[in-house]
Structure 1
Amino acid sequence: MSTEPTSTAKDTPRPARWTSRRIRVLLVVAAAVLAATDLIVKAVAEAVLFAGATNDIGPINIRLVYNRGVAFSMGAGLPPWAVIAGTGVILAALLWFLIAAAPGMSPLSRAGAALLLGGATGNFIDRLDGQGVVDYLHSGWFPTFNLADVFVTIGVVVLVLGAVLSPRPRHGD
């Protein structure tokens, strides 16, 4: 007969619980890593390319362009401080909303939120020097864009998909 105690459900270690705080911190850290990645790629693009030069790599051309406006160069004629202030307010509101909502989101939506915040933050930081956002990916039929724009676009799609595909709690549950 064994003298070792038998294991019970109480003795079984539980996995760490994802608290609201941990979820929020993870969202911010992921967004910061994505923004840093975007800024590094933009710095490399600026170091390697000169304005107007085009490198053809197949369906996408690489060329350096500075976008002084926002999406599709809208507002390019505005003073840089106005574009920076406007995008800063939008980014702050987006950051507040997504951090507040993150604990209630599905994991897929949180991934989308991280991509969206990372891309928006990367473009905002890039805009702060007053030169505009560094764009370098050009397809020939679509305006020139950058990695942050890809993050924002995919992030919105993934955020919405996560919201649509996640199970909804029933009333009375």
Structure 2
Amino acid sequence: MNLAGAWGRALLVAVVAVAADQVVKALVLASLRTGESINVFYGIDITLVRNDGVAFGALGGGGPLILVLVLASVTLLLAYFARHARDRLLWLPVGAILGGAVGNLIDRLRIGKVIDFIDPIAWPAFNLADVFIVVGVAGFVLLILSEGAEASAAG
């Protein structure tokens, strides 16, 4: 794949991720008060949570440190992608991670906290942006590992 196509696809995935995340958060904000829950099915509620930490509530109260960590992580991701953008499907997890990060960044800049709402039993609440980030990181790692295995087999 050419470089422009890879960047374009990553950007498209990121835009779709941000849009989905922000639309669902707007619906939750319009429907619930902070702490209010709706049971979806056994073990999963929709609960409006305002999270000042990162994924799954980690680093709560981290403030500027969180912003620095997110920006550094996104910078490293984009630098890696700039060097390897032509690699097979790398655009897909990069777009998902970028979209998730931007979705949560919008919340931080707009209200100072991230809106979480997916609330399973025995696990901290999270949101759609977190899902994009986690799935994107898993895909990124799998692609990197598969490329390493292919290089070892070929070399």
Q: What SS does the corresponding residue of 2:98 show, helix, strand or coil?
A: helix
Say yes or no: does 1:32 pair with 2:15: yes
Deviation readout 1:27-76 (Å, 9 max, x if unpaired): 12221221121111111111111111111111310000000121333332
Aligned to 1:120: 101
Distance change in 2, residues 1:132/1:111 (3 Å): same
Distance change in 2, residues 1:91/1:36 (3 Å): farther
Distance change in 2, residues 1:52/1:118 (3 Å): same
Aligned to 1:159: 140
Distance change in 2, residues 1:105/1:33 (3 Å): same
1:27–1:110 CA contact under 8 A, matched in 2: yes
Aligned to 2:49: 65
Aligned to 2:31: 48
2:9–2:92 CA contact under 8 A, matched in 1: no
1:87, distance to aligned residue in structure 2 (A): 4.4
1:150, distance to aligned residue in structure 2 (A): 0.8
Q: Structure 1: which 5+ runs fail to align?
A: 1-17
1:131 to 99, 112, 123: 112
**Cα distance in structure 2, aligned partners of 1:101 and 1:35:** 24
The higher radius of gyration belongs to: 1
Q: What SS does the corresponding residue of 2:79 show, helix, strand or coil?
A: helix
Aligned to 1:106: 88
**Cα distance in structure 2, aligned partners of 1:168 and 1:154:** 24
Runs of 4+ in 1 over 3 A off after TM superposition: none
- RMSD between superposed Cα atoms in Å: 2.2
- TM score, norm. by length of structure 2: 0.84
Amino acid at match of 2:4: R
Q: Structure 2: which 5+ runs fail to align?
A: none
Q: What SS does the corresponding residue of 2:117 show, helix, strand or coil?
A: strand
Distance change in 2, residues 1:119/1:98 (3 Å): farther
